[in-house]
Structure 1
């Protein structure tokens, strides 16, 4: 790295700071979008987060959902009660172990969510259309690594009790 100039390092620091700032802006923007969708659907933010986890990774046991969401199991029970009453999920007994329960999202209700996010999905399709396959692979890799870094930071912070 001896041929890297201080100007190169300065540009790199600036670009890295710009990426971090953009990710924060994106997080805020997506949070506002999710809040608006939640208002339309009469769902709390945390309920939407859990519904998304169930939709994407389900069926799940309530304890697995609690772990993935970083929530206390008793909190998840309340969330699942609300989602079930509103017709978003179904709790089902595991045929192999009648004591075990799994939770799955109901597909008809998922169509409502998809409809409300269709504007953002269309915008993302248009943005991605401007990139070639190699660029899309790079972006997907960056986002996957960023997500993993967030997961690690969350686990570390949770473990430290800070």
Structure 2
């Protein structure tokens, strides 16, 4: 099926782009994945981040230590529960990632400009559903 082939090619190309960004930012691939989740869902607790990444909490602690030392994230006390810790991305440092992805972001803006709002809504729905299927498959495998 053409759509599955195109999605595989997109996944591969985005993976290659992420590796280039990681290398330039002097991050490990898993660090970049965690930063993306923190940026999109943060501030976030380490427990919630471990759940979303599928990483063991001890592994995640090492990643967060590394990201904090390098100035990418900060650990802060949760104002609602002073015993809890939240992780937030530091905007000044994360601007570097936005710069590294700017070429792709610009290209995506140009591609999207060629579609109607209805077509973009349809594509967004497909991608959300495909993402959900991927999430479900990941959960199913992690239960083994």
TM-score range, shorter chain: over 0.9
Name stretches of at least 5 consecutive residues in structure 1 with no aligned partner: 1-16
1:36-70 CA-to-partner distances (Å, cap 9, x unmatched) read 00000000000000010001100000000000111
Please list every run of at least 4 consecutive aligned residues from structure 1 whose deviation after the TM superposition is greater than 2 angstroms: 95-98
Query: 1:156 matched to which residue of 2?
Result: 140
> CA separation in 1, counterparts of 2:119 and 2:81?
46
Name stretches of at least 5 consecutive residues in structure 2 with no aligned partner: none
Query: 2:11 matched to which residue of 1?
Result: 27
TM-score (norm 2): 0.98
Say whether 1:41 aligns with 2:36.
Answer: no
Say whether 1:133 aligns with 2:120.
Answer: no
Query: 1:144 matched to which residue of 2?
Result: 128
1:1-46 CA-to-partner distances (Å, cap 9, x unmatched) read xxxxxxxxxxxxxxxx111011011001000000000000000000
SS in 1 for 2:83: strand
RMSD: 0.7
Map residues 10-159 of structure 1 onto 2, 5 A cutoff: 17-159=1-143
TM-score (norm 1): 0.87
- The higher radius of gyration belongs to 1
Q: How many residues are matched? A: 144
